[in-house]
């Protein structure tokens, strides 16, 4: 079974645009879960342009499914936040400062020693670790020796290529996922997954543990409503 974790960054973007508490991020997280989401994902960024560091503690108190915090572990503030809030899962993403959104995975060969060290910090605290990687077999193979529990396949390239040639777009992901599965790594995926491309991705990656979806899902909710939208995404995974 592939779990659906709803990324609620964009709810915080909307809230922050007026400075008040509408929409209420905590209530939205509770509602996502009651509508069927099997996890809640947030990606606090150093400028707190959407998720604020305080939001993480508020969410930790109420999330009853799986809480996944994504972010850049090269920021000490992020490491401290994760260790203090103890989510079920942390996803390490090599973001640069000021990046609009995540746009690449870890070079697990070049950063092998660093990753080993930081992953151990989270694992010693009892937090499952996933690392964001491009669909490249060498990067997946080197992820195994970092000690990570899972990888998250960065799916932007797949989403981009899906409408032109979906067989070609999925091919590197199948190979990367096979390498991960063979080595005992769990497999997550995310970035630009949507109602069009999700089913084909999940059908072709049978060992897929979890997808985290935010931008498209929250956008779809404007038309279909949040409850219907979550059900529609869940149907793509069943």
Ligand X SMILES: CC(=O)[C@@H](O)[C@H](O)COP(=O)(O)O
Ligand Y SMILES: NCC(=O)COP(=O)(O)O
Residues that bind ligand X (CB under 6 A): 7, 9, 43, 45, 70, 93, 101-102, 132, 190-191, 214
Residue 38 is encoded by which pair of tokens? 């099997």
Nearest to 102 by CA among 79, 128, 132: 132
Is 163 flagged in the annotation as binding? no
DSSP annotation string for 142-210: HHHTTT-SEEEEE-HHHHHHTTT-HHHHHHHHHHHHHHHHHTT-EEEEESS--TTTHHHHHHH-TTEEE
- In the complex with ligand Y, which residue's Cβ is closer, 63 or 193? 193
- Cα-Cα end-to-end distance for the chain: 8
* Residue 191 annotated in active site: yes
Is 16 flagged in the annotation as binding? no
Is 160 flagged in the annotation as binding? no
* Residue 70 annotated in active site: yes
Residue 146 is encoded by which pair of tokens? 């970092």
Cβ–Cβ < 8 Å for 196, 219:
no
Rule CB under 6 A: is residue 70 a binding residue for ligand Y?
A: yes
Rule CB under 6 A: is residue 66 a binding residue for ligand Y?
A: no
Is 164 flagged in the annotation as binding? no
CB of 132 to ligand X, least distance (A): 6
Which does residue 216 bind out of ligand Y, ligand X, none, counting CB within 5 to 8 angstroms by kind?
ligand Y
Sites of contact with ligand Y (CB under 6 A): 7, 41, 70, 152, 190-193, 212-216
Give the annotated binding-site residues for 1-deoxy-D-xylulose 5-phosphate.
Answer: 45, 50, 101
């Amino acid at each position: 079974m592939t779990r659906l974790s709803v990324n609620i960054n964009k709810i915080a973007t909307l809230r922050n645009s007026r400075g008040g508490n509408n929409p209420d991020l905590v209530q939205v997280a509770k509602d996502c879960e009651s509508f069927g989401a099997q996890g809640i994902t947030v990606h606090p960024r150093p400028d707190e342009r959407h998720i604020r560091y305080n939001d993480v503690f508020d969410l930790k108190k109420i999330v009853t499914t799986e809480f996944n915090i994504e972010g850049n572990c090269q920021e000490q503030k992020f490491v401290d936040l994760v260790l203090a809030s103890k989510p079920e899962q942390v996803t390490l993403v090599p973001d640069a400062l000021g990046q609009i959104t995540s746009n690449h995975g870890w070079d697990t060969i070049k950063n092998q020693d660093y990753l080993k060290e930081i992953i151990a910090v989270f694992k010693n605290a009892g937090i499952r670790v996933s690392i964001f990687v491009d669909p490249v077999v060498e990067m997946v193979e080197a992820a195994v020796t970092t000690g990570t529990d899972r990888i998250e396949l960065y799916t932007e390239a797949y989403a981009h290529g899906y409408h032109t040639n979906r067989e070609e777009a999925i091919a590197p992901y199948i190979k990367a996922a096979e390498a991960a599965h063979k080595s005992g790594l769990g497999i997550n995926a995310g970035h630009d997954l949507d109602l069009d491309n999700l089913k084909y991705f999940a059908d072709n990656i049978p060992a897929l543990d979890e997808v985290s979806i935010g931008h498209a899902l929250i956008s779809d909710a404007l038309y279909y409503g949040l409850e219907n939208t979550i059900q529609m995404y869940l149907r793509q995974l069943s």
